[in-house]
Amino acid sequence: MSNETAIDVDANAVMADLERAADNFSAALYERLAALSQIPSEISALRSSLAAASTSLGLLCLQVALIGALVLGVFFLEARLRKRKAAASSAWRTFFFKAVAVVLALGLGFVAARFLAPPGVGLRTLRLWTVAIVALYVVLSLTKFILLASRPPELRHRSFRMLSFVHDLSFSMAWAMLGVALVTTSQILGSGPGIKDFIRTILVAIPAYLLFAAAVWRHRRTLAAVVAGPQPRGRLRSQIARRWPAIVVVFLCITFISTQAALTFGAPLPGTAVLSTILMLLLTPHLDAMIWNWARRKLEAPHISIAAAAARQTARFALFIIAISMLGALWATPLALGLGFDLRSVAREAFGLALIALAAAYLWNAVGSMTDRALRVRRQTTTDEDGLPEAPRSRLGTIVPLLGAVGKSSIVALALLSILVSMGVNVWPLITGLSVFGLAIGFGSQTLVKDVVSGLFFLIDDAFRFGEYIETSGAKGTVEKISIRSVSLRNSRGSIATVPYGQIGKIQNFSRDWAIEKFAFRVAFDTDVELVRKLFKKIGQDIAADPELSADLLEPFKSQGIGDVEDGTLIIKAKFTAKPGKQSMIRRAILTAVQSAFREHGIQAVPKPMTANAEPSA
Protein backbone atom coordinates (compact mmCIF):
# COMPACT_ATOMS: atom_id res chain seq x y z
CA MET A 1 0.00 0.00 0.00
CA SER A 2 2.89 2.37 0.80
CA ASN A 3 4.42 1.78 -2.67
CA GLU A 4 1.17 2.74 -4.39
CA THR A 5 0.96 5.88 -2.27
CA ALA A 6 4.52 6.86 -3.20
CA ILE A 7 3.77 6.32 -6.90
CA ASP A 8 0.66 8.52 -6.64
CA VAL A 9 2.69 11.26 -4.93
CA ASP A 10 5.36 11.17 -7.65
CA ALA A 11 2.73 11.29 -10.41
CA ASN A 12 1.02 14.27 -8.74
CA ALA A 13 4.37 16.05 -8.46
CA VAL A 14 5.11 15.49 -12.15
CA MET A 15 1.67 16.74 -13.15
CA ALA A 16 2.13 19.80 -10.96
CA ASP A 17 5.48 20.56 -12.59
CA LEU A 18 3.95 20.19 -16.06
CA GLU A 19 1.06 22.48 -15.16
CA ARG A 20 3.48 25.04 -13.72
CA ALA A 21 5.61 24.95 -16.88
CA ALA A 22 2.50 25.32 -19.06
CA ASP A 23 1.34 28.30 -17.00
CA ASN A 24 4.75 29.95 -17.26
CA PHE A 25 4.84 29.37 -21.01
CA SER A 26 1.33 30.82 -21.44
CA ALA A 27 2.24 33.88 -19.40
CA ALA A 28 5.47 34.42 -21.37
CA LEU A 29 3.62 33.99 -24.67
CA TYR A 30 1.02 36.53 -23.58
CA GLU A 31 3.81 38.99 -22.74
CA ARG A 32 5.28 38.50 -26.24
CA LEU A 33 1.92 39.20 -27.85
CA ALA A 34 1.43 42.22 -25.62
CA ALA A 35 4.87 43.53 -26.59
CA LEU A 36 3.93 43.28 -30.27
CA SER A 37 1.01 45.63 -29.65
CA GLN A 38 3.49 48.27 -28.42
CA ILE A 39 5.35 48.44 -31.76
CA PRO A 40 3.89 51.85 -32.87
CA SER A 41 4.96 53.56 -29.64
CA GLU A 42 8.39 51.87 -29.82
CA ILE A 43 8.86 53.16 -33.38
CA SER A 44 8.09 56.71 -32.20
CA ALA A 45 10.61 56.35 -29.37
CA LEU A 46 13.21 55.00 -31.78
CA ARG A 47 12.75 57.96 -34.12
CA SER A 48 13.15 60.35 -31.20
CA SER A 49 16.38 58.69 -30.07
CA LEU A 50 17.77 58.79 -33.62
CA ALA A 51 16.85 62.44 -33.96
CA ALA A 52 18.72 63.14 -30.75
CA ALA A 53 21.75 61.44 -32.31
CA SER A 54 21.53 63.80 -35.37
CA THR A 55 20.27 61.10 -37.73
CA SER A 56 17.04 59.49 -38.89
CA LEU A 57 15.80 56.04 -39.79
CA GLY A 58 15.48 56.92 -43.48
CA LEU A 59 18.97 58.46 -43.60
CA LEU A 60 20.44 55.42 -41.88
CA CYS A 61 18.75 53.10 -44.39
CA LEU A 62 20.14 55.20 -47.25
CA GLN A 63 23.64 55.04 -45.78
CA VAL A 64 23.36 51.26 -45.40
CA ALA A 65 22.23 51.01 -49.03
CA LEU A 66 25.23 53.08 -50.18
CA ILE A 67 27.64 50.93 -48.18
CA GLY A 68 26.06 47.79 -49.61
CA ALA A 69 26.27 49.12 -53.17
CA LEU A 70 29.95 49.98 -52.68
CA VAL A 71 30.85 46.58 -51.26
CA LEU A 72 28.85 44.70 -53.89
CA GLY A 73 30.42 46.84 -56.60
CA VAL A 74 33.87 45.63 -55.53
CA PHE A 75 32.73 42.02 -55.79
CA PHE A 76 31.08 42.68 -59.16
CA LEU A 77 34.31 44.16 -60.56
CA GLU A 78 36.26 41.18 -59.21
CA ALA A 79 33.90 38.76 -60.95
CA ARG A 80 34.16 40.67 -64.25
CA LEU A 81 37.96 40.74 -64.07
CA ARG A 82 38.12 37.04 -63.22
CA LYS A 83 35.70 36.19 -66.03
CA ARG A 84 37.95 37.94 -68.56
CA LYS A 85 40.89 35.79 -67.45
CA ALA A 86 38.88 32.59 -67.08
CA ALA A 87 41.01 30.77 -69.66
CA ALA A 88 44.15 31.22 -67.59
CA SER A 89 42.53 31.05 -64.15
CA SER A 90 43.11 28.28 -61.68
CA ALA A 91 41.81 27.44 -58.23
CA TRP A 92 44.62 29.34 -56.51
CA ARG A 93 44.22 32.36 -58.82
CA THR A 94 40.49 32.43 -58.09
CA PHE A 95 41.17 32.24 -54.35
CA PHE A 96 43.68 35.07 -54.63
CA PHE A 97 41.24 37.32 -56.52
CA LYS A 98 38.46 36.65 -54.02
CA ALA A 99 40.75 37.25 -51.01
CA VAL A 100 41.91 40.57 -52.46
CA ALA A 101 38.29 41.53 -53.16
CA VAL A 102 37.27 40.72 -49.56
CA VAL A 103 40.09 42.79 -48.08
CA LEU A 104 39.41 45.67 -50.48
CA ALA A 105 35.66 45.59 -49.79
CA LEU A 106 36.21 45.66 -46.02
CA GLY A 107 38.64 48.55 -46.29
CA LEU A 108 36.45 50.63 -48.60
CA GLY A 109 33.36 49.86 -46.52
CA PHE A 110 34.99 51.01 -43.27
CA VAL A 111 36.38 54.17 -44.91
CA ALA A 112 33.00 55.01 -46.47
CA ALA A 113 31.25 54.37 -43.13
CA ARG A 114 33.64 56.79 -41.43
CA PHE A 115 32.81 59.53 -43.93
CA LEU A 116 29.06 58.88 -44.14
CA ALA A 117 28.23 58.69 -40.43
CA PRO A 118 29.62 60.41 -37.33
CA PRO A 119 31.00 58.29 -34.48
CA GLY A 120 28.28 56.62 -32.50
CA VAL A 121 25.26 54.52 -33.36
CA GLY A 122 25.38 55.28 -37.08
CA LEU A 123 29.08 54.34 -37.47
CA ARG A 124 28.62 51.07 -35.60
CA THR A 125 25.62 50.20 -37.74
CA LEU A 126 27.41 50.89 -41.03
CA ARG A 127 30.45 48.87 -39.97
CA LEU A 128 28.14 46.02 -38.93
CA TRP A 129 26.50 45.95 -42.35
CA THR A 130 29.87 46.12 -44.09
CA VAL A 131 31.04 43.03 -42.20
CA ALA A 132 27.67 41.30 -42.75
CA ILE A 133 27.73 41.78 -46.54
CA VAL A 134 31.36 40.69 -46.83
CA ALA A 135 30.70 37.66 -44.62
CA LEU A 136 27.66 36.81 -46.77
CA TYR A 137 29.81 36.94 -49.91
CA VAL A 138 32.43 34.66 -48.33
CA VAL A 139 29.83 32.15 -47.09
CA LEU A 140 28.00 32.07 -50.43
CA SER A 141 31.26 31.60 -52.35
CA LEU A 142 32.33 28.74 -50.08
CA THR A 143 28.87 27.18 -50.28
CA LYS A 144 28.89 27.23 -54.08
CA PHE A 145 32.41 25.82 -54.19
CA ILE A 146 31.60 23.00 -51.74
CA LEU A 147 28.31 22.04 -53.38
CA LEU A 148 29.72 21.96 -56.92
CA ALA A 149 32.96 20.25 -55.87
CA SER A 150 30.98 17.52 -54.10
CA ARG A 151 29.90 16.20 -57.48
CA PRO A 152 32.20 13.62 -59.11
CA PRO A 153 34.44 15.16 -61.79
CA GLU A 154 32.76 13.16 -64.56
CA LEU A 155 29.32 14.61 -63.61
CA ARG A 156 30.19 18.27 -63.10
CA HIS A 157 29.29 19.20 -66.67
CA ARG A 158 25.74 18.01 -65.86
CA SER A 159 25.38 19.89 -62.56
CA PHE A 160 22.40 22.06 -63.57
CA ARG A 161 20.34 20.54 -60.75
CA MET A 162 23.11 21.26 -58.28
CA LEU A 163 23.33 24.84 -59.60
CA SER A 164 19.59 25.23 -59.01
CA PHE A 165 20.06 23.92 -55.45
CA VAL A 166 22.94 26.38 -54.97
CA HIS A 167 20.75 29.30 -56.05
CA ASP A 168 17.87 28.34 -53.75
CA LEU A 169 20.15 27.68 -50.80
CA SER A 170 22.08 30.91 -51.40
CA PHE A 171 18.85 32.90 -51.30
CA SER A 172 17.88 31.23 -48.02
CA MET A 173 21.31 31.91 -46.51
CA ALA A 174 21.26 35.52 -47.67
CA TRP A 175 17.88 36.06 -46.04
CA ALA A 176 19.04 34.45 -42.78
CA MET A 177 22.41 36.24 -42.55
CA LEU A 178 21.01 39.65 -43.45
CA GLY A 179 18.22 38.98 -40.98
CA VAL A 180 20.77 38.36 -38.22
CA ALA A 181 22.43 41.66 -39.16
CA LEU A 182 19.03 43.39 -39.00
CA VAL A 183 18.34 41.94 -35.53
CA THR A 184 21.78 43.11 -34.34
CA THR A 185 21.07 46.57 -35.80
CA SER A 186 17.85 46.81 -33.83
CA GLN A 187 19.79 46.00 -30.67
CA ILE A 188 22.40 48.66 -31.46
CA LEU A 189 19.69 51.26 -32.03
CA GLY A 190 18.05 50.38 -28.71
CA SER A 191 14.73 49.17 -30.14
CA GLY A 192 11.98 48.00 -27.87
CA PRO A 193 11.18 44.32 -27.25
CA GLY A 194 8.22 44.39 -29.62
CA ILE A 195 10.26 45.60 -32.60
CA LYS A 196 13.07 43.13 -31.91
CA ASP A 197 10.59 40.25 -31.55
CA PHE A 198 8.78 41.25 -34.75
CA ILE A 199 12.03 41.43 -36.73
CA ARG A 200 13.48 38.26 -35.22
CA THR A 201 10.36 36.11 -35.68
CA ILE A 202 8.14 37.54 -38.42
CA LEU A 203 10.73 39.05 -40.75
CA VAL A 204 13.67 36.67 -40.25
CA ALA A 205 13.00 33.32 -38.58
CA ILE A 206 9.76 32.18 -40.25
CA PRO A 207 10.76 33.11 -43.85
CA ALA A 208 14.31 31.78 -43.39
CA TYR A 209 13.19 28.40 -42.07
CA LEU A 210 10.56 28.07 -44.79
CA LEU A 211 13.12 28.93 -47.48
CA PHE A 212 15.63 26.43 -46.09
CA ALA A 213 13.04 23.66 -45.85
CA ALA A 214 11.68 24.40 -49.34
CA ALA A 215 15.18 24.34 -50.87
CA VAL A 216 15.99 21.02 -49.21
CA TRP A 217 12.71 19.35 -50.12
CA ARG A 218 12.65 20.66 -53.68
CA HIS A 219 16.13 19.28 -54.35
CA ARG A 220 15.84 16.17 -52.17
CA ARG A 221 16.96 13.83 -54.97
CA THR A 222 20.14 15.84 -55.58
CA LEU A 223 20.88 16.04 -51.86
CA ALA A 224 20.29 12.30 -51.39
CA ALA A 225 22.58 11.46 -54.32
CA VAL A 226 25.42 13.53 -52.83
CA VAL A 227 25.00 12.03 -49.36
CA ALA A 228 24.94 8.50 -50.84
CA GLY A 229 28.36 9.04 -52.42
CA PRO A 230 29.96 7.09 -55.26
CA GLN A 231 29.45 3.40 -56.00
CA PRO A 232 29.95 0.97 -54.38
CA ARG A 233 28.12 2.13 -51.29
CA GLY A 234 26.88 0.31 -48.20
CA ARG A 235 23.25 -0.39 -47.41
CA LEU A 236 23.33 1.79 -44.28
CA ARG A 237 24.71 4.79 -46.18
CA SER A 238 22.09 4.32 -48.93
CA GLN A 239 19.26 4.23 -46.38
CA ILE A 240 20.60 7.34 -44.61
CA ALA A 241 20.93 9.12 -47.96
CA ARG A 242 17.30 8.40 -48.88
CA ARG A 243 16.10 9.73 -45.54
CA TRP A 244 18.57 12.63 -45.27
CA PRO A 245 16.29 15.36 -46.76
CA ALA A 246 13.50 14.38 -44.36
CA ILE A 247 16.01 14.37 -41.48
CA VAL A 248 17.15 17.90 -42.40
CA VAL A 249 13.57 19.18 -42.63
CA VAL A 250 12.70 17.64 -39.24
CA PHE A 251 15.85 19.17 -37.76
CA LEU A 252 14.83 22.59 -39.11
CA CYS A 253 11.38 22.23 -37.55
CA ILE A 254 12.84 21.20 -34.19
CA THR A 255 15.33 24.08 -34.32
CA PHE A 256 12.56 26.58 -35.09
CA ILE A 257 10.41 25.30 -32.23
CA SER A 258 13.40 25.34 -29.85
CA THR A 259 14.41 28.89 -30.76
CA GLN A 260 10.85 30.16 -30.37
CA ALA A 261 10.42 28.35 -27.05
CA ALA A 262 13.70 29.80 -25.76
CA LEU A 263 12.66 33.26 -26.97
CA THR A 264 9.31 32.92 -25.22
CA PHE A 265 10.99 32.04 -21.92
CA GLY A 266 13.24 35.10 -22.25
CA ALA A 267 16.49 33.22 -23.07
CA PRO A 268 16.89 33.56 -26.86
CA LEU A 269 19.36 31.23 -28.53
CA PRO A 270 22.26 32.98 -30.30
CA GLY A 271 21.31 33.49 -33.94
CA THR A 272 24.86 32.99 -35.19
CA ALA A 273 25.11 29.61 -33.46
CA VAL A 274 21.75 28.46 -34.84
CA LEU A 275 22.60 29.56 -38.37
CA SER A 276 26.05 27.97 -38.18
CA THR A 277 24.53 24.68 -37.00
CA ILE A 278 22.04 24.65 -39.88
CA LEU A 279 24.77 25.40 -42.40
CA MET A 280 26.98 22.65 -40.97
CA LEU A 281 24.14 20.14 -41.23
CA LEU A 282 23.47 21.12 -44.84
CA LEU A 283 27.06 21.44 -46.05
CA THR A 284 28.89 18.69 -44.13
CA PRO A 285 27.71 15.83 -46.44
CA HIS A 286 28.72 17.87 -49.49
CA LEU A 287 32.07 18.73 -47.96
CA ASP A 288 32.56 15.04 -47.15
CA ALA A 289 31.80 14.13 -50.78
CA MET A 290 34.20 16.83 -52.01
CA ILE A 291 37.01 15.51 -49.79
CA TRP A 292 36.27 11.95 -50.93
CA ASN A 293 36.48 12.97 -54.60
CA TRP A 294 39.76 14.74 -53.88
CA ALA A 295 41.12 11.80 -51.87
CA ARG A 296 40.33 9.04 -54.35
CA ARG A 297 41.74 11.04 -57.29
CA LYS A 298 45.31 9.95 -56.55
CA LEU A 299 44.86 6.90 -54.34
CA GLU A 300 45.63 4.58 -57.24
CA ALA A 301 48.50 6.67 -58.56
CA PRO A 302 51.78 4.74 -58.26
CA HIS A 303 53.84 7.80 -57.27
CA ILE A 304 51.78 8.68 -54.18
CA SER A 305 53.16 7.28 -50.96
CA ILE A 306 51.23 5.18 -48.49
CA ALA A 307 51.50 7.96 -45.89
CA ALA A 308 50.02 10.51 -48.28
CA ALA A 309 47.22 8.14 -49.31
CA ALA A 310 46.37 7.46 -45.66
CA ALA A 311 46.38 11.20 -44.93
CA ARG A 312 43.96 11.82 -47.80
CA GLN A 313 41.61 9.15 -46.51
CA THR A 314 41.86 10.44 -42.93
CA ALA A 315 40.77 13.90 -44.08
CA ARG A 316 37.13 12.73 -44.06
CA PHE A 317 37.39 11.59 -40.45
CA ALA A 318 39.12 14.89 -39.59
CA LEU A 319 36.12 16.70 -41.08
CA PHE A 320 33.84 14.73 -38.75
CA ILE A 321 36.02 15.65 -35.75
CA ILE A 322 36.02 19.32 -36.75
CA ALA A 323 32.22 19.34 -37.15
CA ILE A 324 31.74 17.78 -33.70
CA SER A 325 34.21 20.26 -32.20
CA MET A 326 32.40 23.22 -33.74
CA LEU A 327 29.06 22.00 -32.44
CA GLY A 328 30.60 21.51 -29.02
CA ALA A 329 32.04 25.01 -29.07
CA LEU A 330 28.67 26.48 -30.10
CA TRP A 331 26.40 24.61 -27.69
CA ALA A 332 28.33 22.58 -25.10
CA THR A 333 30.61 25.43 -24.00
CA PRO A 334 27.81 27.59 -22.54
CA LEU A 335 26.33 24.51 -20.87
CA ALA A 336 29.69 23.55 -19.34
CA LEU A 337 30.20 27.06 -18.01
CA GLY A 338 26.69 27.11 -16.59
CA LEU A 339 27.24 23.79 -14.80
CA GLY A 340 30.54 24.99 -13.31
CA PHE A 341 32.95 22.79 -15.28
CA ASP A 342 36.51 23.89 -15.87
CA LEU A 343 36.40 24.73 -19.57
CA ARG A 344 40.18 24.42 -20.00
CA SER A 345 40.31 20.89 -18.60
CA VAL A 346 37.30 19.84 -20.69
CA ALA A 347 38.86 21.29 -23.83
CA ARG A 348 42.18 19.61 -23.01
CA GLU A 349 40.56 16.20 -22.57
CA ALA A 350 38.46 16.64 -25.71
CA PHE A 351 41.56 17.61 -27.68
CA GLY A 352 43.39 14.52 -26.41
CA LEU A 353 40.50 12.25 -27.39
CA ALA A 354 40.37 13.87 -30.83
CA LEU A 355 44.11 13.30 -31.32
CA ILE A 356 43.79 9.63 -30.33
CA ALA A 357 40.86 9.18 -32.71
CA LEU A 358 42.73 10.89 -35.56
CA ALA A 359 45.87 8.82 -34.95
CA ALA A 360 43.82 5.60 -34.90
CA ALA A 361 42.02 6.61 -38.10
CA TYR A 362 45.33 7.43 -39.79
CA LEU A 363 46.87 4.08 -38.79
CA TRP A 364 43.69 2.28 -39.90
CA ASN A 365 43.86 3.95 -43.32
CA ALA A 366 47.61 3.31 -43.54
CA VAL A 367 47.05 -0.41 -43.01
CA GLY A 368 44.22 -0.34 -45.54
CA SER A 369 46.38 1.53 -48.06
CA MET A 370 49.22 -0.97 -47.67
CA THR A 371 46.93 -3.95 -48.18
CA ASP A 372 45.19 -2.30 -51.15
CA ARG A 373 48.54 -1.34 -52.69
CA ALA A 374 49.87 -4.89 -52.28
CA LEU A 375 46.73 -6.44 -53.76
CA ARG A 376 46.70 -3.91 -56.61
CA VAL A 377 50.30 -4.73 -57.52
CA ARG A 378 49.45 -8.41 -57.40
CA ARG A 379 46.43 -7.92 -59.69
CA GLN A 380 48.52 -5.95 -62.19
CA THR A 381 51.11 -8.72 -62.35
CA THR A 382 48.64 -11.62 -62.61
CA THR A 383 46.27 -10.57 -65.39
CA ASP A 384 45.73 -12.40 -68.62
CA GLU A 385 45.81 -10.96 -72.10
CA ASP A 386 42.21 -9.76 -71.87
CA GLY A 387 42.97 -7.79 -68.72
CA LEU A 388 40.96 -10.14 -66.52
CA PRO A 389 42.49 -11.38 -63.27
CA GLU A 390 43.24 -15.04 -62.99
CA ALA A 391 41.09 -17.00 -60.57
CA PRO A 392 43.65 -18.17 -57.98
CA ARG A 393 45.26 -15.49 -55.88
CA SER A 394 48.91 -15.35 -55.08
CA ARG A 395 50.24 -16.17 -51.65
CA LEU A 396 50.49 -12.44 -50.98
CA GLY A 397 46.87 -11.96 -52.00
CA THR A 398 45.83 -14.66 -49.55
CA ILE A 399 47.79 -13.60 -46.47
CA VAL A 400 47.62 -9.79 -46.83
CA PRO A 401 43.84 -9.47 -46.14
CA LEU A 402 44.22 -11.56 -42.97
CA LEU A 403 47.18 -9.46 -41.80
CA GLY A 404 45.22 -6.30 -42.59
CA ALA A 405 42.24 -7.49 -40.53
CA VAL A 406 44.50 -8.38 -37.59
CA GLY A 407 46.28 -5.01 -37.82
CA LYS A 408 43.03 -3.03 -37.91
CA SER A 409 41.64 -4.97 -34.95
CA SER A 410 44.81 -4.24 -32.97
CA ILE A 411 44.57 -0.53 -33.81
CA VAL A 412 40.96 -0.36 -32.59
CA ALA A 413 41.84 -2.19 -29.35
CA LEU A 414 44.82 0.09 -28.65
CA ALA A 415 42.74 3.20 -29.44
CA LEU A 416 40.01 2.16 -27.02
CA LEU A 417 42.55 1.44 -24.28
CA SER A 418 44.26 4.80 -24.93
CA ILE A 419 40.93 6.62 -24.67
CA LEU A 420 40.18 4.92 -21.36
CA VAL A 421 43.65 5.82 -20.06
CA SER A 422 43.24 9.47 -21.11
CA MET A 423 39.90 9.58 -19.25
CA GLY A 424 41.62 8.40 -16.08
CA VAL A 425 40.29 4.84 -16.12
CA ASN A 426 42.59 2.17 -14.70
CA VAL A 427 42.81 -0.33 -17.55
CA TRP A 428 45.11 -2.88 -15.87
CA PRO A 429 42.26 -4.81 -14.22
CA LEU A 430 40.56 -4.91 -17.63
CA ILE A 431 43.71 -6.19 -19.32
CA THR A 432 44.22 -8.76 -16.56
CA GLY A 433 40.64 -9.92 -16.85
CA LEU A 434 40.97 -10.28 -20.61
CA SER A 435 44.17 -12.28 -20.12
CA VAL A 436 42.49 -14.63 -17.67
CA PHE A 437 39.55 -14.94 -20.06
CA GLY A 438 41.95 -15.75 -22.87
CA LEU A 439 43.62 -18.43 -20.78
CA ALA A 440 40.25 -19.91 -19.92
CA ILE A 441 39.39 -20.07 -23.60
CA GLY A 442 42.77 -21.63 -24.34
CA PHE A 443 42.34 -24.41 -21.75
CA GLY A 444 38.61 -24.91 -22.22
CA SER A 445 38.38 -24.73 -26.01
CA GLN A 446 41.09 -27.05 -27.29
CA THR A 447 39.29 -27.54 -30.61
CA LEU A 448 39.30 -23.79 -31.25
CA VAL A 449 43.01 -23.58 -30.45
CA LYS A 450 43.67 -26.57 -32.70
CA ASP A 451 41.78 -24.91 -35.56
CA VAL A 452 43.63 -21.61 -35.20
CA VAL A 453 47.08 -23.19 -34.91
CA SER A 454 46.41 -25.59 -37.80
CA GLY A 455 45.24 -22.72 -40.00
CA LEU A 456 48.40 -20.77 -39.14
CA PHE A 457 50.61 -23.62 -40.29
CA PHE A 458 48.52 -24.22 -43.41
CA LEU A 459 49.05 -20.59 -44.40
CA ILE A 460 52.76 -20.74 -43.56
CA ASP A 461 53.10 -23.87 -45.72
CA ASP A 462 51.19 -22.10 -48.51
CA ALA A 463 48.87 -25.11 -48.80
CA PHE A 464 46.05 -23.17 -50.51
CA ARG A 465 45.10 -19.68 -51.62
CA PHE A 466 42.00 -17.76 -52.56
CA GLY A 467 40.47 -19.03 -55.79
CA GLU A 468 42.26 -22.39 -55.83
CA TYR A 469 40.43 -25.69 -56.20
CA ILE A 470 41.31 -28.06 -53.36
CA GLU A 471 40.05 -31.32 -51.91
CA THR A 472 40.17 -32.11 -48.21
CA SER A 473 39.19 -35.20 -46.31
CA GLY A 474 35.62 -33.93 -45.99
CA ALA A 475 34.91 -31.57 -48.90
CA LYS A 476 36.23 -30.17 -52.14
CA GLY A 477 35.72 -26.94 -54.05
CA THR A 478 37.12 -23.50 -54.79
CA VAL A 479 38.55 -21.56 -51.84
CA GLU A 480 36.18 -18.62 -51.43
CA LYS A 481 36.83 -17.42 -47.88
CA ILE A 482 39.67 -17.79 -45.39
CA SER A 483 38.98 -16.85 -41.78
CA ILE A 484 41.00 -17.28 -38.63
CA ARG A 485 39.59 -20.76 -37.87
CA SER A 486 38.03 -22.16 -41.06
CA VAL A 487 38.08 -22.17 -44.85
CA SER A 488 34.99 -21.99 -47.07
CA LEU A 489 34.87 -24.12 -50.24
CA ARG A 490 32.30 -23.68 -53.00
CA ASN A 491 31.76 -26.81 -55.05
CA SER A 492 30.67 -27.08 -58.68
CA ARG A 493 26.98 -27.09 -57.75
CA GLY A 494 27.23 -23.80 -55.88
CA SER A 495 26.96 -24.96 -52.28
CA ILE A 496 29.54 -23.80 -49.72
CA ALA A 497 31.23 -26.09 -47.23
CA THR A 498 32.91 -24.49 -44.20
CA VAL A 499 35.71 -26.73 -42.99
CA PRO A 500 37.59 -25.99 -39.72
CA TYR A 501 41.35 -26.18 -40.13
CA GLY A 502 41.59 -28.87 -37.50
CA GLN A 503 39.42 -31.21 -39.57
CA ILE A 504 41.06 -30.68 -42.95
CA GLY A 505 43.64 -33.43 -42.72
CA LYS A 506 45.25 -34.06 -46.12
CA ILE A 507 44.88 -31.39 -48.83
CA GLN A 508 44.97 -32.00 -52.57
CA ASN A 509 45.52 -28.77 -54.49
CA PHE A 510 44.45 -28.91 -58.16
CA SER A 511 45.48 -25.32 -58.99
CA ARG A 512 49.26 -25.31 -58.70
CA ASP A 513 51.87 -25.12 -61.48
CA TRP A 514 50.30 -27.47 -64.08
CA ALA A 515 47.64 -30.08 -64.65
CA ILE A 516 48.16 -33.30 -66.63
CA GLU A 517 45.10 -34.63 -68.40
CA LYS A 518 45.25 -38.30 -69.45
CA PHE A 519 43.07 -40.26 -71.90
CA ALA A 520 42.47 -43.97 -72.55
CA PHE A 521 40.94 -44.98 -75.92
CA ARG A 522 39.70 -48.57 -76.48
CA VAL A 523 40.13 -49.61 -80.13
CA ALA A 524 40.02 -52.87 -82.08
CA PHE A 525 42.98 -55.23 -81.81
CA ASP A 526 43.92 -54.90 -85.51
CA THR A 527 44.09 -51.08 -85.38
CA ASP A 528 47.18 -49.45 -86.95
CA VAL A 529 48.89 -48.02 -83.86
CA GLU A 530 51.31 -45.94 -85.94
CA LEU A 531 48.38 -44.29 -87.72
CA VAL A 532 46.80 -43.45 -84.35
CA ARG A 533 50.09 -41.93 -83.19
CA LYS A 534 50.29 -39.73 -86.29
CA LEU A 535 46.65 -38.67 -85.90
CA PHE A 536 47.21 -37.74 -82.26
CA LYS A 537 50.34 -35.79 -83.23
CA LYS A 538 48.38 -33.89 -85.91
CA ILE A 539 45.61 -33.14 -83.39
CA GLY A 540 48.20 -31.86 -80.89
CA GLN A 541 49.69 -29.54 -83.52
CA ASP A 542 46.26 -28.19 -84.45
CA ILE A 543 45.39 -27.52 -80.81
CA ALA A 544 48.76 -25.80 -80.24
CA ALA A 545 48.09 -23.56 -83.27
CA ASP A 546 44.66 -22.50 -82.01
CA PRO A 547 45.07 -18.98 -80.50
CA GLU A 548 42.18 -19.53 -78.07
CA LEU A 549 43.73 -22.68 -76.60
CA SER A 550 47.49 -22.32 -77.07
CA ALA A 551 47.89 -19.75 -74.26
CA ASP A 552 46.75 -22.33 -71.68
CA LEU A 553 48.60 -25.30 -73.21
CA LEU A 554 51.98 -26.15 -71.66
CA GLU A 555 52.76 -29.49 -73.41
CA PRO A 556 50.95 -30.62 -76.57
CA PHE A 557 48.60 -33.53 -76.86
CA LYS A 558 50.50 -36.70 -77.82
CA SER A 559 50.17 -40.47 -77.84
CA GLN A 560 51.77 -42.70 -75.20
CA GLY A 561 51.31 -45.87 -77.23
CA ILE A 562 49.61 -49.07 -76.17
CA GLY A 563 48.98 -48.96 -72.46
CA ASP A 564 47.32 -52.31 -72.07
CA VAL A 565 45.55 -55.19 -73.86
CA GLU A 566 42.24 -56.14 -72.36
CA ASP A 567 39.86 -58.82 -73.68
CA GLY A 568 41.26 -58.56 -77.19
CA THR A 569 41.07 -54.76 -77.13
CA LEU A 570 43.92 -52.28 -77.43
CA ILE A 571 43.97 -49.46 -74.87
CA ILE A 572 45.89 -46.53 -76.35
CA LYS A 573 46.80 -43.79 -73.90
CA ALA A 574 47.48 -40.09 -74.51
CA LYS A 575 48.00 -36.96 -72.46
CA PHE A 576 48.61 -33.20 -72.49
CA THR A 577 49.74 -30.62 -69.92
CA ALA A 578 47.93 -27.34 -69.35
CA LYS A 579 47.62 -24.55 -66.83
CA PRO A 580 45.63 -25.63 -63.77
CA GLY A 581 41.94 -24.95 -64.14
CA LYS A 582 42.28 -24.29 -67.88
CA GLN A 583 42.26 -27.86 -69.19
CA SER A 584 38.52 -28.31 -69.69
CA MET A 585 38.30 -26.39 -72.98
CA ILE A 586 41.35 -28.17 -74.34
CA ARG A 587 39.99 -31.57 -73.28
CA ARG A 588 36.69 -30.96 -75.10
CA ALA A 589 38.47 -29.81 -78.25
CA ILE A 590 40.73 -32.91 -78.23
CA LEU A 591 37.85 -35.35 -77.76
CA THR A 592 35.95 -33.72 -80.63
CA ALA A 593 39.01 -33.92 -82.89
CA VAL A 594 39.71 -37.56 -81.96
CA GLN A 595 36.13 -38.57 -82.73
CA SER A 596 36.32 -36.92 -86.17
CA ALA A 597 39.73 -38.48 -86.94
CA PHE A 598 38.59 -41.96 -85.95
CA ARG A 599 35.49 -41.66 -88.15
CA GLU A 600 37.46 -40.39 -91.17
CA HIS A 601 40.10 -43.17 -91.00
CA GLY A 602 37.78 -46.01 -90.13
CA ILE A 603 39.19 -46.62 -86.67
CA GLN A 604 36.67 -48.47 -84.57
CA ALA A 605 36.28 -47.60 -80.90
CA VAL A 606 35.33 -50.57 -78.75
CA PRO A 607 33.01 -50.05 -75.79
CA LYS A 608 34.00 -51.35 -72.43
CA PRO A 609 32.29 -54.69 -71.77
CA MET A 610 29.64 -54.78 -69.10
CA THR A 611 30.39 -57.16 -66.22
CA ALA A 612 27.88 -58.51 -63.76
CA ASN A 613 28.91 -59.95 -60.43
CA ALA A 614 25.74 -61.93 -59.88
CA GLU A 615 25.78 -64.77 -57.41
CA PRO A 616 25.00 -68.25 -58.87
CA SER A 617 21.58 -69.59 -58.16
CA ALA A 618 21.21 -72.45 -55.76
Specify the pLDDT at position 271.
67
Nearest to 308 by CA among 373, 352, 354: 373
Q: Residue 582: count other Cβ atoms within 10 Å of its Cβ.
A: 18
Q: What's the rounded mean pLDDT across residues 471-495?
A: 80
Query: Is pLDDT above 80 for 442?
Result: no
Q: What is the DSSP letter of 199?
A: I
Based on DSSP, count helices (H) and strands (E) in the chain, helices before strands. Answer: 20, 8
* Whole-angstrom distance, CA of residue 43 vs CA of residue 340: 41
Q: What is the DSSP letter of 141?
A: H
Bigger pLDDT: 349 vs 99: 99
* Whole-angstrom distance, CA of residue 259 vs CA of residue 274: 8
Measured CA distances, 440 to 417, 450, 452, 480, 486 (Å): 22, 15, 16, 32, 21
Query: Is pLDDT above 60 for 385?
Result: no
CATH class entry, domain 515-600: alpha beta
High-pLDDT (> 90) share of the chain, %: 2
Q: What's the rounded mean pLDDT across residues 270-283?
A: 74
* Whole-angstrom distance, CA of residue 521 vs CA of residue 594: 10
Bigger pLDDT: 564 vs 228: 564
* Whole-angstrom distance, CA of residue 296 vs CA of residue 312: 8
Query: Is pLDDT above 80 for 133?
Result: yes
**What's the residue count for the chain?**
618
Query: Is pLDDT above 70 for 233?
Result: no
State which fold the 448-509 domain adopts.
SH3 type barrels. (2.30.30)
Bigger pLDDT: 347 vs 360: 360
The one-letter amino acid code at 322 reads I
216-230, 308-322, 420-434, 438-452: which range is least confident on average? 438-452
Average pLDDT, the chain: 77
Query: Is pLDDT above 50 for 219?
Result: yes
pTM of the predicted structure, to 2 decimals: 0.58
Measured CA distances, 352 to 94, 194, 348, 420 (Å): 37, 46, 6, 11
